[in-house]
Amino acid sequence: MIVTSSSSSFELKYPFVEGLWDSRVNPLVSKPARVGYSTRKDVHVSDHELRKTVISNHPMPMPGHLQGPYKGEKQLKGSSHKLEYVRTLLIDNYDSYTYNIYQELSVVNGLPPVVVQNDEWTWEDVCHYLYEEKAFDNIVISPGPGSPACPTDIDIVTGKCVLEERILSVLQYVYSHSFLSWGLRRVCKNHMKFLLDTGICIRLLLECWDIPILGVCLGHQALGYVHGAQIIHASEPVHGRLSEVQHNGCRLFHNIPSGRNSGFKVVRYHSLVVDAESLPKELIPIAWTSSSDAISLLETQKTNTLTDAYENQIGHRRTSESVLELKNGSFYPSIQSDKSRRVLMGIMHSSRPHYGLQFHPESVATYHGRQLFENFRKITEDYWLRLRPYPACMQVPCASQLIREIPRRRHLVRSADDQLCRVDSQISQLMHNAYQNFGMSSVVNLSNPSIGAKFLKLNWKKFDHLASQVGGARNIFFNLFGHSRAENTFWLDSSSTEKKRARFSFMGGKGGSLWKQLIYRLSDQSDSTLKGGGYLSIEDAHGFTRSTLLEEGFFNFLNKELLSFRYDEKDYEGLPFDFHGGYIGYIGYNLKVECGVSSNRHKSRTPDACFFFADNLLVIDHHNDDVYIMSLHEEFTTPSPWLEETKGKLLSLKASTTKLEEQTFQAATLSPFKAGFHAEKSRDQYMEDVKKCLKYIKDGESYELCLTTQIRKSIGQKDPLGLYLHLRQRNPAPYAAWLNFSKENLSICCSSPERFLRLDRNGTLEAKPIKGTIARGETVEEDKQRKLQLQYSEKDQAENLMIVDLLRNDLGRVSEPGSVHVPNLMEVESYATVHTMVSTIRGKKRADISPVDCVRAAFPGGSMTGAPKLRSMELLDSIESCSRGIYSGSIGFFSYNRTFDLNIVIRTVVVHEGEASIGAGGAIVALSNPEDEYEEMILKTRAPSNAVMEFV
């Protein structure tokens, strides 16, 4: 193997095994079976078996029906040969869009794919399931960060020692038989050593010439790379932007228009490309960008124009272009137009059913994306039908058998082993859905009582049209819960209720017998005796405190707590909201280590999670002006007198003429530094960090990096509640919040406009990410112009689209196949000081997934990380100089009846130990300008920092 590299390209040249078997050496020898895995049980194999492994007249059997794990052979229906199920192995390269592919394939194939991360199976495992169990009909290799030339990006070899011993045994056999020429023996040795340095993605493309494979983005580049093409930097990084594509009419693009103004527009996320000039003869280009120009997402084309253009192209192609039928059954009409300014968007192998797409067919903004997956399914069906009358894909999986057979890493559980971060679970993603598809009981029964279960009863009262009569939410909170500096109180405050963005506010304080306070801190990662988890302090209603080590982490604890509650749904019939009591508080950004990130570089100054269990609360319906009071108690215990006591306070407040007066002030628009804040990083340092992000993006390490920093100011003993009341008046927001944890000397004054994730009682998940912000204008006309400027900004569209696709992926991990959708894409919403670009993503939660699992699958919110999420968070940890703490985390509730609603902690003042801190930042994309990014960061701090200055 010879690898040459330069600053802008990598080139791999190696002797490909398929081409080694020359008839001049042995005219009776056909293409070999895969080298080095035909025997699974023993490393030491017989001469006969070794010879059969290296040179075989009979290649290993193609994937057929499974003996045992599959049942119910399906007959062909008519002449169309359409099969009911196609089984896909989906290789995840730690990307944030893999589960968008998963959702598409679940619908197209009629069966969810099995998702395996690229370091989860050894090559021995892969071969076992592909060729012995014959468990899959095709393979899809996902996008991912980095380059196929970097082994840690595309693969990490597991079981390398076993593989090395196996290959050495084969080499010993090769060198001991003189019928093989010296040159051929040397070539075999070099090839096998090359295999030791590669992982499953590269080896799948190298050796599985008899299985249909589709590579997307990084998978596409890997297909080019393994056959000798160069991977180089594109002329410019393109992330979250659209291009029109011209293709050659091969089967992968069947029934899809081609060329300019045809309507075939695709989303691209890449900064590296396969160099078209370096393509070997066995790889054929099948798609290009129609031009070098990107297209605005909001551009539209008339339907008749699209149809006419498509029909004209197809008709012209059929009459004027020569068509070559290839060995894999595809057709290649040559593209004659100039490619000098265009980028290669697709390739195929001339003799194998292997295809690559540089763009992302799974993106919400790609046109004809599902048709591409349907075409790949048809290619798979036809491929197997040509080989045998009853292919593997005519079988239906039996879930119980595959549960025993297929080891899976459950993507919602983080291992304590940070070296490889592996958790072997007996339940595969396929099996979760197979139970659903074939009417079997749920893998995880969320309804059966467990040890320590608590049966909760809910009592409540409603007061019609009372809120305005007692002075509104501000007056209610201040008079009922604002005494003693509002210690240990909460207020989820929909202070901005315009346009139905939010409807309900929830407030309360230290409550009844079920009340408790949770304070959680992650363990010190320098402590070698601990592999993860952290310390939880629990204070009960009587003031007794106990501490415990949570080795499995906070999310697992919270999950068990919520699953232990039993309740009667009739208790809350008629209530128009979903929080009826339960846990309310915040999750800090550093809890990302319980969601897949290997470590935190910076330790938070504040606890990593703080929650109250709220058994008494007051709810305000801002639309109907109603007030509800609610109280939880355990069955067979005496209900709390809190309901009657609070009823009396509300009625007396109604009778009182004393109302808390709203303050009036002239809103300041000063820089936070003129308001007395100091920054963690100077202007020059922040701009230098932006440049680092741009370098990572150029090198393909990330598509988008959400860079942040902190500003701080000492406020001494100033009343934090007064500060919050001032902030909510100055900058009202639909997901605002007040939290006070007195033992920690911690108060949170949040004016967030952004929802992270919500789960309602119907099982609907909803995320509303914000990406794209601009200051409001001083006049009506200027304000309209600024709103349009944001709406048509290509940079902001790219930012938003990347996060929309990321959230679709996160919801796709826990939602029913085919249920994830985007009802609103890139709507501009206006707030007191800024316009923002907001999208809405929804999905239907799977029955076997718990509410906490949903949060863990998506936390931290993608709008605060970038994409791909895991790699982006690792890069940001290396760039940012301090912990984000509460900023970038989430505030909200987990109701006892398994609903939740969480915000994104932005536009927030955290008051801790007499210091006010504000976090802010922005998404860095390829189109970012360092100076503009710095100004955007400052803009986002102005409302909270000026509120602090005005109050102090």
Q: Are 3 and 147 in contact (CB under 8 A)?
A: no
What is the residue type of 298? L
Q: Using CA atoms, how far apart are residues 665 and 589, in angstroms rounded to an integer? A: 34
Q: In whole angstroms, how far apart are CA 178 and each of 36, 173, 175, 185?
A: 20, 10, 7, 9
Cβ distance 943 to 730 under 8 Å? yes
* Contact (CB, 8 A) for 111 and 87: yes
> Is residue 401 within 8 Å of residue 427, measured between CB atoms?
no
Q: What DSSP state is assigned to residue 742?
A: G
Angstrom distance (rounded) from CA 910 to CA 923: 22
Residue labelled with tokens 């985390």 = 889
Q: Torsion over CA of 741, 743, 745 and 746, rounded to 10 degrees?
A: -20
Q: Which of 362, 539, 561, 936 is catalytic?
A: 362
Which one of the listed residues 127, 208, 217, 749 is annotated catalytic? 217
Q: Report the C-alpha gap between 429 and 815 in whole angstroms.
A: 11
Element (H, E) at 366: none
Please confirm, yes or no, whether 688 is among the known catalytic residues. no
- Per-residue tokens: 747: 């108060």
Tokens encoding 885: 């703490």
3-class SS letters over 403-464: HHHCCEECCCCCCCCCCCCCCEECCCHHHHHHHHHCCCCCCCCCCCCCCCCEEEEEEEEEEC
**Residue 642 half-sphere exposure toward CB, CA atoms < 13 A:** 26
Q: Are 44 and 169 in contact (CB under 8 A)?
A: yes
| Pairing relationship of beta strands 354-357 and 213-216 according to DSSP bridges | parallel
In whole angstroms, what is the distance from residue 510 CA to residue 490 CA? 9
Catalytic residue among 191, 360, 580, 622: 360
DSSP string over 153-217: HH---SSHHHHHHHHHHHHHHHHH-TTS-HHHHHHHHHHHHHHHT--HHHHHHHH-TTS-EEEET
Q: Is residue 244 a contact partner of residue 263, using CB atoms and an 8 Å limit?
A: no
d(CA 65, CA 78): 21
Q: Is 639 exposed, middle or buried (0-12, 13-18, 19+ CB in 10 A)?
A: middle
How remote is the C-alpha of 659 from its chain's centroid?
A: 47
Planar angle of CA 435, 436, 437, nearest 5 degrees: 95
- Say if CB 879 and CB 675 are below 8 A apart: no
Three-state DSSP at 325 gives: strand
Of 426, 390, 393, 388, which is closest to residue 408 (Cα–Cα)?
426
| Cα torsion 413, 416, 420, 425: sign | negative
Cα–Cα distances in angstroms (integers) from residue 857 to residues 115, 237, 514, 522, 810, in the given order: 15, 28, 29, 19, 6
C-beta separation of 697 from 703 below 8 A: yes
The closest alpha carbon to 758, from 884, 577, 619, 908, belongs to: 577
Given the structure tokens 């049209």, which residue do they identify? 465
Told to judge if 678 belongs to the known catalytic residues of this protein, a careful annotator would answer no
Task: Give the phi and the psi of residue 800 in degrees, each rounded to 5.
Answer: -65, -45
Give the SS3 label for residue 489.
coil
Per the annotation, the verdict on 360 as an active-site residue is yes
Angle of helix 930-951 versus helix 683-698 axis, rounded to 10: 140
Backbone angles phi, psi at 783, to 5 degrees: -65, -40
Cα gap 422→853, rounded to integer Å = 18
Angstrom distance (rounded) from CA 144 to CA 361: 14
> Which of the residues are catalytic?
217, 360, 362
